[in-house]
C-alpha cells in the first residue's frame, strides 16, 4: 500500500507567521546555543552522525544544559531519547544517563554511539570482514510480508546476502559497524524516498532505481557500504581518542569513572519505572507534527529482525495514535482548544498532551529535590493558532511541585526540511525553546506515581542494556 507523503496530522495555515523582533513573552531570554557552546562546531561530531534519525536533538543544547545544571557523576534521565544525543553528551562530560524510548532502534544505536573500547579499531579487520561478506552464502530477508514492494529483486538479493553475513558472525563492534552502514544503504537502494521521514514510493525514486539498474549498481552499493563502514570506524576511533585524552588530563581518578549510559529501547516511558533517583532531566519531546518515529524507521527495524507484530505494537503506542487516558487542563491549553473549530484537532491535542505529560511526569518523579528539568520544545501552529508548548508545560508542572526558573529562546537559522514533501508550513518554526523547571525541595509528598513498569502489556518488556566495555582486539 502506498503511503501519501503529503498527509500531516496537524494541518497548519499556509502563510507562516512573519518573524518578530520581540520574544513571545517578557519571560523569555534570547540565546544562541551554538554561540554558548563554541567548542561544538559540528552537530554531527564524533559519533552523533553514525545513524540517521528524524528531528535529532542538537548537541549544543544538551551540552549547555549539562554544563549549567549538572556536575560530574550526576545521573540524567531522558524519557524521549530518540537518537541518544543526551547519552553521548552525558558520557563525554563524565555524567551518567538513563535513556528511555519507544523505538527499539535505540538499542542498536547506543553501543556504537557510546563506544567504550580503550583501543583504536583496526581498519584491516573491518576490510577483511567486508571482503568476506561479498563471498558469503548466508541469507537474511526481513520478516516483512511487503518487502518485495520496496526493492528491485536483484538489489534485495544482494542486501539479503550482506545482512545474512553480518547476522552470521559473532556480534561485536565490527559487525555493529557494518550493520550501521547497511541500514543506510538498505534505505538508499530501496524504492522509498529516503529524503522523506516516512516510507513512501515516488515516481522520482522509481525512475532513479530503474536507471541505476542499467548501470554498475552493485559496485556502487558495495562502495557505499565500504565508505560508510570506514567512516563509522574512524568516528569511533576519534571517540576513543577524545575520551582517552580527557581521562589523561584528569589523572587516574577520572579514568575509573568516565560515565555510564543505560538505555532501554522499545519501552513506553509513560509507565516504565526509572531505576534510580536522578539529578536532572534533559529531553526534547516529540513535536506536534513530528511524532511518527516508528513509521519513519520501520524499514530499519525490519532489517534488524523485528516482526510485523512487534512494529505494529510499537506504532500503536505512538503519539497521537493512542487515545488520551486523561484530559490535561492549563490556562493556555484550554484557550487554544476553545479557539479550535475542528473536533479532531482538539482530540489530537488531548492525545499529545496526555501522553507527552505522562512520560515527562513519570521521569520527573525520579528527580531529586532541587533537580533541574530541561525541556526543549518548539511552538508550532495549528489551524492558525500558535501553541506555546513551553508555556503549557510550565503551567502544568508549576501546579505540581515544580518551580519555573527560566525559558530560553533560540532562533533557528538553518533547518533542513524535506523537499519532496508537500509541507504546508515550508518555513518551519522560527524558534525553539529550552524550558527550565526546578523540583520543589520542600514538599515532595504530593507527587503521584504513574504506576508500575509497562502496564500496557508483556510485548513491551524493557530491554535494559549498557554500553559494552568492548575491546578492539
C-alpha cell at 427: 518555513
The span from the CA of 79 to the CA of 285, in Å, is: 8
Render pLDDT for 130-175 as a digit per residue (tens, 0 to 9): 999 999 999 999 999 999 999 999 999 999 999 999 999 998 999 9
The span from the CA of 379 to the CA of 154, in Å, is: 45
The span from the CA of 34 to the CA of 29, in Å, is: 15
DSSP state of 79: S
Taking a C-beta distance cutoff of 8 angstroms, is the pair 85, 58 a contact? yes
Show the domain range for 383: 28-108+259-466
Whether 280 and 232 share a structural domain: no
Whether 352 and 385 share a structural domain: yes
Largest CA distance in the chain: 71
Whether 203 and 335 share a structural domain: no
- Listed as own residue / partner, the contacts of 245-251 with beta carbons closer than 8 Å and 24 or more positions apart are 246/92, 246/94
Average pLDDT along the chain, 473 residues, taken 10 residues at a time: 30 34 62 96 96 92 98 97 97 97 97 94 97 97 96 98 97 96 97 83 94 96 98 97 74 59 96 94 87 88 97 89 92 96 92 95 96 95 92 97 96 54 51 96 49 35 40 32
The span from the CA of 130 to the CA of 339, in Å, is: 59
Query: CB 393: neighbour CB atoms within 10 A?
Result: 27
Whether 263 and 213 share a structural domain: no
Whether 171 and 277 share a structural domain: no
Q: Is residue 471 part of a domain?
A: no
Q: Is residue 14 part of a domain?
A: no
Q: Is residue 113 part of a domain?
A: no
Distances in Å between the alpha carbon of 209 and those of 149, 150, 282? 13, 11, 41
Render pLDDT for 386-440 as a digit per residue (tens, 0 to 9): 999 999 999 999 999 899 999 999 987 654 444 444 444 445 567 999 999 999 9
Q: Is residue 5 part of a domain?
A: no
Whether 102 and 129 share a structural domain: no
Whether 282 and 221 share a structural domain: no
Whether 128 and 102 share a structural domain: no
Whether 444 and 326 share a structural domain: yes
Look up the CATH number of the domain holding residue 380: 3.40.50.150
Amino acid at each position: 500500500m502506498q503511503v501519501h507523503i503529503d498527509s500531516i496530522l496537524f494541518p497548519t495555515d499556509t502563510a507562516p507567521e512573519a518573524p518578530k523582533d520581540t520574544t513571545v513573552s517578557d519571560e523569555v531570554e534570547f540565546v544562541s546555543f551554538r554561540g554558548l557552546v563554541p567548542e561544538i562546531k559540528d552537530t554531527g561530531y564524533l559519533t552523533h552522525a553514525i545513524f540517521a534519525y528524524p528531528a535529532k536533538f542538537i548537541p549544543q543544547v544538551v551540552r549547555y544544559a549539562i554544563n549549567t545544571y549538572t556536575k560530574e557523576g550526576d545521573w540524567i534521565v531522558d524519557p524521549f531519547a530518540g537518537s541518544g544525543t543526551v547519552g553521548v553528551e552525558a558520557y563525554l562530560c563524565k555524567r551518567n544517563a538513563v535513556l528511555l524510548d519507544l523505538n527499539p532502534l535505540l538499542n542498536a544505536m547506543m553501543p556504537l554511539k557510546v563506544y567504550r573500547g580503550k583501543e583504536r579499531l583496526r581498519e584491516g579487520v573491518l576490510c577483511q570482514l567486508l571482503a568476506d561478506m561479498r563471498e558469503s552464502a548466508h541469507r537474511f530477508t526481513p520478516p516483512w510480508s511487503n518487502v518485495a514492494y520496496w526493492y528491485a529483486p536483484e538489489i534485495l538479493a544482494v542486501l539479503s546476502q550482506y545482512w545474512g553475513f553480518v547476522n552470521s558472525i559473532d556480534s561485536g563492534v565490527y559487525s555493529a559497524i557494518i550493520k550501521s552502514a547497511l541500514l543506510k544503504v538498505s534505505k538508499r537502494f530501496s524504492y522509498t524516498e529516503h529524503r522523506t521521514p516516512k516510507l513512501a514510493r515516488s515516481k522520482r525514486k522509481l525512475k532513479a532505481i530503474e536507471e541505476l539498474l542499467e548501470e554498475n549498481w552493485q559496485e556502487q552499493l558495495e562502495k557505499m557500504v565500504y565508505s560508510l563502514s570506514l567512516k563509522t570506524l574512524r568516528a569511533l576511533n576519534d571517540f576513543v581518542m577524545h575520551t582517552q585524552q580527557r581521562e589523561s588530563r584528569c589523572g587516574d581518578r577520572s579514568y575509573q569513572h568516565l560515565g555510564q549510559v543505560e538505555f532501554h529501547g522499545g519501552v513506553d516511558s509513560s509507565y516504565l519505572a526509572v531505576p534510580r533517583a536522578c539529578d536532572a532531566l534533559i529531553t526534547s519531546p516529540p513535536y506536534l507534527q513530528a511524532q511518527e518515529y516508528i513509521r519513519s524507521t520501520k524499514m530499519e527495524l525490519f532489517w534488524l529482525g523485528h516482526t510485523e507484530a512487534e512494529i505494529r505494537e510499537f506504532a500503536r503506542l505512538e503519539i497521537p495514535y493512542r487515545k488520551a487516558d486523561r484530559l490535561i487542563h492549563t490556562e493556555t491549553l484550554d484557550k487554544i482548544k476553545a479557539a479550535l473549530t475542528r473536533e479532531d484537532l482538539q482530540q489530537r491535542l488531548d492525545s499529545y498532551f496526555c501522553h507527552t505529560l505522562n512520560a515527562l511526569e513519570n521521569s520527573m518523579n525520579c528527580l531529586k529535590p532541587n533537580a533541574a528539568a530541561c525541556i526543549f520544545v518548539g511552538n508550532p501552529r495549528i489551524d492558525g493558532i500558535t501553541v506555546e508548548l513551553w508555556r503549557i508545560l510550565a503551567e502544568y508542572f508549576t501546579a505540581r511541585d515544580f518551580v519555573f526558573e527560566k525559558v530560553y529562546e533560540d532562533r533557528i537559522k538553518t533547518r533542513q526540511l524535506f523537499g519532496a514533501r508537500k509541507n504546508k508550513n515550508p518555513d518551519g518554526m522560527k524558534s525553539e525553546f529550552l524550558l527550565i523547571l526546578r523540583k520543589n525541595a520542600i514538599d515532595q509528598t504530593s507527587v503521584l506515581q504513574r504506576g508500575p513498569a509497562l502496564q500496557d502489556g508483556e510485548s513491551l518488556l524493557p530491554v535494559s542494556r549498557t554500553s559494552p566495555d568492548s575491546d578492539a582486539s
